[in-house]
Chains A and B, each alone.
Chain A
Amino acid sequence: MAIEIRRAAVIGAGTMGSGIAAQLANAGIPVLLLDVVPSGATERTVLAAGALARMRTQQPPPFMSAEAMALVTPGNVEDDLDGLAEVDWIIEAVFEDPAVKTPLYHKLDAARKPGSIITSNTSTIPLQALITGQSDAFARDFAITHFFNPPRYMRLLELVSGPQTRPDVTAALHAFGDERLGKGVVVCKDTPGFIANRIGTFFMYCAMHEALKHGLSVEETDAVCGKPMGLPKTGIFGLTDLVGLDLMPHIMKSFHATLPAGDAFRALPMSFAPMDALIAAGNTGRKSKGGGFTRLVPDAAGGRRKEVIDLATGTYRAERVPQLASLAAARGKNALKTLVGFDDRGGRFAASLLAQGLSYAASLVPEIADRVSAVDSAMRLGYGWSFGPFELIDQLGAANFAALLTAHGIAIPSLVAQNKPFYRADANGVEELLPNGEYAPVPRSAGVLSLADVKRRGSPVMKNGSASVWDIGDGVLCLEFTSKMNTLDRDTLAIIRQIITQIGDGSGTYRALVVYNDGENFSVGANLGPALFSLNIAMWDTVLQGTVDGQNTYAALQHAPFPVVVAPAGMTLGGGAEITLHADAVQAAAESYIGLVETGVGIIPGWGGCKEMLLRHVGPVQSDAAKSMTAVGHVFQTIATAKISTSAADARALGFLRATDGITMNRARLLADAKAKVLSLVAGYTPPAPRTTTLSGARGKGILMAGVASMAAAGKVTAHDQVVAEQLATVLTGGDTDGVTPLDEGALLTLERTHFMHLAHTPGSLARIEHMLATGKPLRN
């Protein structure tokens, strides 16, 4: 029988341990968080309790909800070991020193429930070293689960088993990590640094040295590594600042000590002079006041501006926009090829870095992992690279890459010498190159439905400039937004209307709809650009028509005779939140940031968002006026302050999701879960009946606006906030309703669009829209 993990304990309440505990709690698991009793401490669990307190205010938040926070119980390893007898999984995340871990393991082994799983979050110590001197039972129940910082947000979990590890332990950790913790689990071999840190650290050191050698500035280095190579915006030096400069020499030392002689890593210089100077000055990165390679200093305008270390002189100077010809040239499909072939500092840097970094990665398969796909996954999920090293080599072409290595005097790894693409895709899926020269399908976890696979298999059922519709099997269609940042526009609305016609009464080929896409963000809302343009040229009717179209289309989808499940993930804002509100059911990724943020651009939700929030929260009859007013107040506050949920669980608390809506921890499983959910609704489906609500009119508006007035008096809302709030309050209290007559959906929609248009005419709202489009940030006018 499979091992079930119902309760867990984390030993070590540092950054990693407390973060892992939080993520376990986010998965609904009660967690015991233990640390040592500091010498002389009066409060014996001060470390774990302190970590919990810190996590309450930490940004980004480690916990997804208040409920999750309550699941973590702080304790210490002297008084609270008894509790370990209750837990199914103990995760050790203490200082990286076998001298600390070994005695702790003896203690844990004695206190734990027989057969319970025990893992270490070590990033550097081999598994074999950790089980040395431990009981056989311990060795059988032991594995390494290596999380990345911050554990809630970084999607990689490296899983290392030893020869003694029970297969069911490995299987349970794999399944739990994937399905419950939402991680991309990559199975690694027991080698130093496993996959991501081994390659990642090598790459970072290499990049720093090459930058200095080729005379690249910090900004230039990060820019060259950014867009064209696909490294995250943090950049090489930014990541070092984040990790902490003082940690880097330790990591380096550890690799030098544990890697075999002849490993390319050991040929790298042990230190990096500009970094040593910074460490010596106490500038160890973001955690230190002085900053690291970059720092923020107060500017004349009262804000802060960025300064950057000049690598050559070691002094700070104002940040500069990189101006390299190679950067300007490296765009589009062949960006990487163009970059490495470009004869300037940027191009030569990139060529040298990629030659070393990618050949190192290629030399490590099968030493650190059996599959190149495991290496690529680890770098994508753990370091946030857009492409793994083998995907990068494919972009250059194996032959070109081999030539590049020869030019740099680097031996060609046998994998590269095969001179074949590492990946090939056809209608049946994606295959990867094996060390023996054959191809095999890229492994995919059971139960995962990939939209990318669906797309490879065929063409869309419908398609226009902003959306595509795919057949995902069993009579289910999937609506995918395809516009930039998945904004919604009239093409999106048009395709929804086409879908309604196509599915009809559900008795034909198709019977249900899932709204889902693979994007990092489900949708940032309606595309404001065309609306602003129309407003600027005084085409008021065009904008009104856009609002009517959105309202009618979403209402038609809601009342269509087939079930609709919306599956948001990431930013789900404005019109994206509104389509979520209109769904029969929602299956949300745990990391869903849902919000009706229209007031930030000076308008109010105009595609039925106000209507849905009212109908959902206030309900049909006003039996209890006070309760009803509280509900209206909640909706008003949520919309007026443009609240965005910090997670799917938080969206439930805010009322964007219902208790019946589902949450999927692993983003990769979202589509499969959404499809299962919509299929469960097919049998006997009846669309929701038309609803009404009763609102209190002018009296209620007075109450809401009194609140706004007191906020204004306290200087908490701006002049235009008040203008927007008043229109919103009018809508949410039913306009000039008599307070008795029920308002139907049509009446609410009329109110919504009337006051939407009123705001769209105001210069203050135009200024907000304009500012948002120009800067991506709301204007506070």
Chain B
Amino acid sequence: MPTYKAPLDDMKFVLNDVIDYSRLTALPGYADFDSETAISVLEGAAQFCEEVLQPINQSGDAEGCRIDNGAVTTPSGFKPAYHQYVESGWPALSADTEFGGQGFPQTLRFAVEEMICASNLSFGMFPGLSHGAYHALLVHGADALKATWLPKLVTGEWAGTMCLTEAQCGTDLGLLTTKAVPRDDGSYALTGNKIFISAGDHDLTSNIVHLVLARLPDAPPGIKGISLFIVPKFLLNADGSPGADNAVRCVSIEHKMGIKASPTCVIAFDNSIGWLVGEHNKGMRGMFTMMNAARLAVGMQGLGLSEVAYQNAVSYAKDRLQGRSLTGVKNPAGPADPLIVHPDVRRSLMTMRAFNEGARALSLWVGTHIDLHEKHPDPAVRKDADDFVALMTPIVKAYFTDMGFESTNLALQIYGGHGYIREYGMEQFVRDARIAQIYEGANGIQALDLVGRKLPAEGGRLLRFFFHPLSERLERTTRDPSLKEFAEPLAAAFARLQQATQYIALRSLANPDEAGAASTDYLRMFGLVALGDMWLRMAEVAMAKLPTANGDRAFFDAKVKTARFFMTKMLPEIHGLFARIMAGSGPVMALEAAGF
């Protein structure tokens, strides 16, 4: 059975030494959340994840969800775990204090998400979707709606969902047909079917608040005619408690590859009463608010699974005795050497480790920008921070989840046949990791978002907040003899990223297929350089601390060695990606559709 230990030391290192967490405490409303408080929160989360969520992960997968007469039952242990989660106040962690939240920085939520996803991805779906609904309502809802629905979403007493997809429209939401007809009292009657609704129905909460995209009777066609509504499972009594049934039915749940403890529902609305969130026909705005937050959260799923898979692979590689080291016996007392003596096993472990630590730093760095965006008093700083988050969102989503799948596979491979059977839990990580590449905008869509939307936006403005700081850092560190070995390969990769960026921007003007053909390679290239940036920063800190380090000597030594591995063994992948990008769209599109 797999185990999980939250990487608290690394999180502390990132918060304190890499991303300068303490500057967030200068933001309005964050004065109380100094780094000590933050770390004690993470310790609490770690304990909950390790002791409550992780133990029901494998059983939840084996048991799955059930549907009886339209009611979904979650696997054994989920209900008490959820109640404990609510009682400990986790749903309210970073929610707005005006609605009962604790108002912690969003940066910390990223760290907590990683731990939840690592310990029990299916469980994480329930609060994750509630948070998305909370956020959309907070940003776009009218005051009365917020007063009615937000407090109990914040406490976790009620859960939320995002109802977007229909049978005929997944990526292309312009095709959706669910109808919303105005009623005399200002509410709307919604009718239609939604599919793939995660946490669409369950037994964890007394009410479920659905955020639903639908079309008004006079709406123009396409995505310009979509509005956002809040539709509860139960209408409220005068005292605010759940009352009358609102004709929201879970018709069925999907049988699927992974995240089996999370019910994926077909939901039918039949003249269900709802209220408009935001303006008529402006539902895509609310959708993007939910989606952007959700995309970052999905990125954390990739990281979380990669981390837990790595930890178990390390244990197995140290325990399992097979064969002898190529350079001589390392475990003479035993019948064979442990797997970890083998360079190729090390390669896999180092790859996972370098990704995990780099991605952790990057996710928390992005997280600080969400806090800057939400809290900084200067609107110019807020806008710049938001632009940076917008740029990094598709990268965090797609690169982290692609790597999550790769990492879990590498870990499974180290287990050999034992990885392929259920007992050790490794194949569950692979299966669970797979969905993250698909939902909340498939990774191909993320790549298109990056090259088609984020790159050209405002003349490349979004890019500035990544390229300028890194350009300056490289100028400084390539001249520093102790950092040169890290900075130089990154400088070469950075130059290639600049060239590829320029190439795509220019070529796609004449032929949009150029951007499309380059998109996936480009996103990965960007992800690698972004991780390189983090590794350069971490190497700089570690190199500075090593000479005087005592108890944490091994930690900083490992950082430097992992940084070196990343720069020399992982980052060079960008040169192949660059060559592929520069080969253009021709080879991709040459064979006409009929020829397939």
Contact = CB atoms under 8 A, between A and B. Distances in A.
B461 A770 contact: yes
Given A536-B467, A537-B460, A530 B506 contact: yes
B501 interface: yes
Contact of B460 (A465, A533, A774): A533
A325 B463 CA distance: 35
A537 B459 contact: no
Contacts of B510: 465
Nearest to A532: B459
Contacts of A766: 464
Given A325-B220, A770-B458, A774-B458, A537 B463 contact: yes
A773 B467 CA distance: 20
A539 B459 contact: no
Contacts of B501: 537
Interface residues of A, number: 20
Contact of A536 (B220, B221, B459, B470): B459
A529 B458 CA distance: 9
Given A323-B220, A325-B220, A536 B461 contact: yes
Contacts of A529: 459
Nearest to A771: B458
A538 B459 contact: no
Given A766-B464, A770-B458, A770-B461, A538 B498 contact: yes
B505 interface: yes
Contacts of B464: 535-537, 766
A601 to B, nearest CB: 11
Nearest to A769: B459
Contacts of B506: 530
Contact of B498 (A530, A537, A774): A537
B502 interface: yes
Interface string B507-524: 000100000000000000
B468 interface: yes
Contact of B505 (A533, A538, A769, A774): A533
Interface string B439-450: 000000000000
A337 B584 CA distance: 37
A536 B505 CA distance: 12
A530 to B, nearest CB: 7
Nearest to A539: B498
Nearest to A531: B459
A769 B220 CA distance: 35
B471 interface: yes
Specify which of A325, A528, A535, A536 lies most central, judged by the most chain B CB atoms within 10 Å of its CB: A536
A542 B458 contact: no
A186 B220 CA distance: 46
Contacts of B468: 536, 538
Contacts of B461: 536, 770
Nearest to A323: B220
Contacts of B502: 533-534, 537, 539, 542
Contacts of A770: 458-459, 461
Contacts of B458: 770, 773-774
Nearest to A781: B380
A769 B458 CA distance: 10
Interface string A177-213: 0000000000000000000000000000000000000
Contacts of A325: 220-221
A777 to B, nearest CB: 15
Interface in B216-270: 220-221
Nearest to A325: B220
Nearest to A534: B502
A532 B460 contact: yes
A659 to B, nearest CB: 40
A29 B120 CA distance: 89
Nearest to A772: B459
A533 B502 CA distance: 8
Contacts of A528: 459
Interface in B41-59: none
A542 B499 CA distance: 10
A533 B507 CA distance: 13
Interface in B394-421: none
A538 B460 contact: no
B471 A538 contact: yes
A278 B496 CA distance: 64
Nearest to B505: A533
A6 B468 CA distance: 64
Interface string A523-556: 0000011101111111100100000000000000
B358 to A, nearest CB: 21
Contacts of B498: 537-539
Contacts of B467: 536-538
A534 B468 CA distance: 11
Contacts of A538: 467-468, 470-471, 498
B220 A773 contact: no
B44 to A, nearest CB: 41
A774 B510 CA distance: 21
Interface string A500-541: 000000000000000000000000000011101111111100
Nearest to A766: B464
B500 to A, nearest CB: 10
A465 B507 CA distance: 13
A537 B458 CA distance: 13
A533 B220 contact: no
B118 to A, nearest CB: 35
A537 B468 CA distance: 7
A589 to B, nearest CB: 31
Interface in A726-781: 766, 769-770, 773-774
A533 B471 contact: no
Interface string A323-363: 10100000000000000000000000000000000000000
Given A533-B459, A537-B463, 19 more contacts: A325-B220, A528-B459, A529-B459, A533-B460, A533-B502, A533-B505, A536-B460, A536-B461, A536-B463, A536-B468, A537-B464, A537-B498, A538-B471, A538-B498, A539-B498, A539-B502, A770-B459, A770-B461, A773-B459
Interface of B: 220-221, 458-461, 463-464, 467-468, 470-471, 498, 501-502, 505-506, 510
Interface of A: 323, 325, 465, 528-530, 532-539, 542, 766, 769-770, 773-774
5 contacts: A528-B459, A529-B459, A537-B464, A537-B501, A539-B498
* Closest 10 pairs (CB-CB, A-B): A536-B460, A538-B471, A533-B460, A532-B459, A536-B464, A538-B467, A537-B467, A536-B463, A537-B498, A537-B501
